[in-house]
Structure 1
């Protein structure tokens, strides 16, 4: 290819940055490329910054690898730019030969049971956004319940349960903002109940996430022996996966240990985190005036193949709040086809397909918006590799950008009055947050307000 390829990536989370990394290395294959990463947040890293619990330093360590990618000269960050309002598809086509969407999934998947809409019934993604200091959500959260239900047995469900059960002072060593600390410190919660529809062998959390529940001296994890049950399908899953085997063994160990007496003064202030299996949520109890007053579940039983069926036996739980953690859902993108059933953009190996299932020239997807919100963060590398392979195979057919000068998009954003941030601006915000944390012996204190993030990032920006 005789000209330098200009590529826009919309979304600067792990999926987008992995795609930039692989594409940037394509120069070894004889393709020269400039890459601009557009991000609607003033800061990069997406899910790592706004979707991972603050007490997960090992997972947040992925930022170090992503940081090295964004440090490269051929990759540029343009933050605080919202696709669909600040910039449209035709605008991007003007400045780029190809566009990759990597906008992820940040909305809660719905759960269709009676009462799910009551006050006190929340989506886990909304709660995660609050405790992670997302700039576009409320600074307050209604933490008034003494007993809470969390629906789902994935890693997000465990994150939500752990944050609710831990003391605020335990989290003060992390980057949580002051409003989150104050909110959690005032929380009266004593019991957190996590409910899974199927059995221990079908749980979706990882062994590391599970074991972390038991690391706090202020939280007692309780598993009931009657919930430890396996059928042939379960045993096949255990034998076929080391991860499943580790999860099951941990749960079995917890089920046979003695539990403390809540009435014992030695346990005063200690919270209880209950893991329940074979309980399918059937109704959130309460009314619109009083809010959530309980949760009704139906006991289930294994059918031999790892699936379950209802038994007709119901149990009412005395809880005052319900958090559904049954999966994330991507949001549709302006001018891009969207499958509302799967929550993905129709594509073939990352090439976006229009309503007639024809390829939209120069338009690609990667990450959760491509395949759905499944798998761990590292799994997006495979997605990115497939998408970049498709893009590189199409290089000779891509329409050349009308305005390929790298400065042209900056002038466009300035003319639109978009206060965009840059990679250098992230360096300033990063240093500012670390300085806020230093007097308290913390790595950083996250800035929450968007206007303040933009102000710090754009300070002295040329």
Structure 2
């Protein structure tokens, strides 16, 4: 049993918003005011913040402002950041269980959900996650991205699809004031795209854009947003959705306004197509040359059915933004279809591969997208964290307890293995370095891409 006379030791694997919100919930709990809590946040990247740093488009400083709130959590003395540590390689579940009373996994979702249509494997067919990682300067992806296509298709009508379409339609110079690293600027400066086509299977009332994200498309002096009036259609289910959601109604109204206006003369055209279901990516000599869609129509409920009419679109690249998928976590059960760890309110459900009796894995929890799937906005993970932490604390009296809970024990373990880890103080040094790179150009920061450069910038200055 856990020793009630010392702080509760908790490891959180994943230092994105979900993991940091879980740490915050632990520190705000009654238990923290009593015996106390001691939290170590593990992160595979040398820098924290997960999706905020590597999943949000660079021209969205408003969303990146969430980092300010996350900073306050990581500044607390009860929390320690251990970055550049790969769970399953540098440290295992058994290792964590020896050093901590409980483990929370908040590893998010960083792979693309599959889209099973003919031609998906062609050269010029890309996943959203890979492109986002490239333009966000992720150290583990190639430094170059092929941007030779003049006409591009984006499949999906969520905010990620909008981000990709907007980045492809803007000029490199428009994005230069952001934190994009030099290799991304060079790539976007030479981007040949002049037409970007976004395709949605259903109608305007079923689009998953947020109103603000949608309206931002029209703010660029280089992007002409075009909506076909024939795509503005609502059935009974769609009208009900508009009445019940101010957000859905705002999106529909914006799309309607764009459909009836005259087309202007901005140099890059961004088309938003509805009622077009992708059925095949067309190719020649192994390369994308087009997209075939089936025209759909509403069925009265807000869903759609195929009409049997097909349209071919001339494009040289296709980006699928049909959802992210979490990846399997070593030593945990995993639902491949849902892309989540099976759980009840954050408690990980044991399966046949896990030793020990009982429905749940002892002292093991999940929060964020690995818990409920990659849906909802960043703020929704707060509720996830609160639920998971409440159940963790309820279960705490029955935890087996860590064998070696001293805070320095895990540091000695990592150093003994020669794992080069980063810290919260190291992030402050990396942050200052990135800001110094941006200062001569009047930019807030320039993101460092190479992992070894991030590690070097995070090290204390040698006296």
| 1:245-264 correspondence to structure 2 within 5 Å | 245-260=249-264
CA distance in 1 between counterparts of 2:254 and 2:44 reads: 40
3-state SS, counterpart of residue 437 of structure 1: helix
Question: 1:459, CA displacement in angstroms?
Answer: 3.2
3-state SS, counterpart of residue 377 of structure 1: coil
| 1:55-454 correspondence to structure 2 within 5 Å | 55-260=59-264, 267=266, 270-287=267-284, 289-355=285-351, 358-454=359-455
Q: Conserved in 2, the CA contact under 8 Å of 1:152 and 1:194? A: yes
Structure 1 outlier segments of 4+, above 6 Å? none
CA distance in 1 between counterparts of 2:195 and 2:410 reads: 52
1:2 paired residue among 1, 5, 11: 5
So what's the TM-score if we normalise by structure 1? Answer: 0.97
CA distance in 2 between counterparts of 1:28 and 1:6 reads: 11
Alignment partner of 1:40 is 2:37:
no
Question: 1:290, CA displacement in angstroms?
Answer: 4.2
Q: Conserved in 1, the CA contact under 8 Å of 2:326 and 2:373? A: yes
Question: 1:25, CA displacement in angstroms?
Answer: 1.6
Question: 1:94, CA displacement in angstroms?
Answer: 1.0
Q: Conserved in 2, the CA contact under 8 Å of 1:12 and 1:38? A: yes
Question: 1:28, CA displacement in angstroms?
Answer: 5.3
Q: Are residues 461 and 411 of structure 1, via their aligned partners in 2, closer, same or farther at CA, if it must alter by over 3 Å?
A: farther
CA distance in 2 between counterparts of 1:119 and 1:354 reads: 41
Q: Conserved in 1, the CA contact under 8 Å of 2:325 and 2:373? A: yes
3-state SS, counterpart of residue 407 of structure 1: helix
Q: Conserved in 1, the CA contact under 8 Å of 2:105 and 2:367? A: yes
So what's the TM-score if we normalise by structure 2? Answer: 0.97
Q: Conserved in 2, the CA contact under 8 Å of 1:95 and 1:409? A: yes
Question: Per-residue displacement from partner, 1:81-118 (whole Å, max 9, x unpaired)?
Answer: 00011110101011000000000000000000000111
Q: Are residues 455 and 245 of structure 1, via their aligned partners in 2, closer, same or farther at CA, if it must alter by over 3 Å?
A: same
3-state SS, counterpart of residue 363 of structure 2: strand
Question: 1:29, CA displacement in angstroms?
Answer: 5.3
Question: 1:158, CA displacement in angstroms?
Answer: 0.1
Corresponding pairs, count: 454
CA distance in 2 between counterparts of 1:188 and 1:384 reads: 43
Q: Conserved in 1, the CA contact under 8 Å of 2:26 and 2:32? A: no
CA distance in 2 between counterparts of 1:307 and 1:113 reads: 20
3-state SS, counterpart of residue 394 of structure 1: helix
Q: Conserved in 2, the CA contact under 8 Å of 1:100 and 1:365? A: yes
- Structure 2 segments unaligned to the other structure (5+ residues): 353-357
Q: Are residues 329 and 461 of structure 1, via their aligned partners in 2, closer, same or farther at CA, if it must alter by over 3 Å?
A: farther
Question: Per-residue displacement from partner, 1:208-255 (whole Å, max 9, x unpaired)?
Answer: 110010000111000000000000000000000000010000000000
Question: 1:348, CA displacement in angstroms?
Answer: 1.1
Question: Per-residue displacement from partner, 1:301-349 (whole Å, max 9, x unpaired)?
Answer: 0000000000000000000000000000000000110000110001111
CA distance in 1 between counterparts of 2:223 and 2:396 reads: 55
Q: Conserved in 2, the CA contact under 8 Å of 1:150 and 1:157? A: yes
Question: 1:30, CA displacement in angstroms?
Answer: 2.6
Q: Are residues 241 and 461 of structure 1, via their aligned partners in 2, closer, same or farther at CA, if it must alter by over 3 Å?
A: farther
- Structure 1 segments unaligned to the other structure (5+ residues): 262-266
CA distance in 1 between counterparts of 2:40 and 2:308 reads: 56
Please give the root-mean-square deviation of Cα atoms over the aligned residues, in Å.
1.2
Q: Are residues 144 and 14 of structure 1, via their aligned partners in 2, closer, same or farther at CA, if it must alter by over 3 Å?
A: same
CA distance in 2 between counterparts of 1:329 and 1:189 reads: 28
Question: 1:460, CA displacement in angstroms?
Answer: 3.7
Q: Conserved in 2, the CA contact under 8 Å of 1:425 and 1:461? A: no
Q: Are residues 334 and 28 of structure 1, via their aligned partners in 2, closer, same or farther at CA, if it must alter by over 3 Å?
A: closer
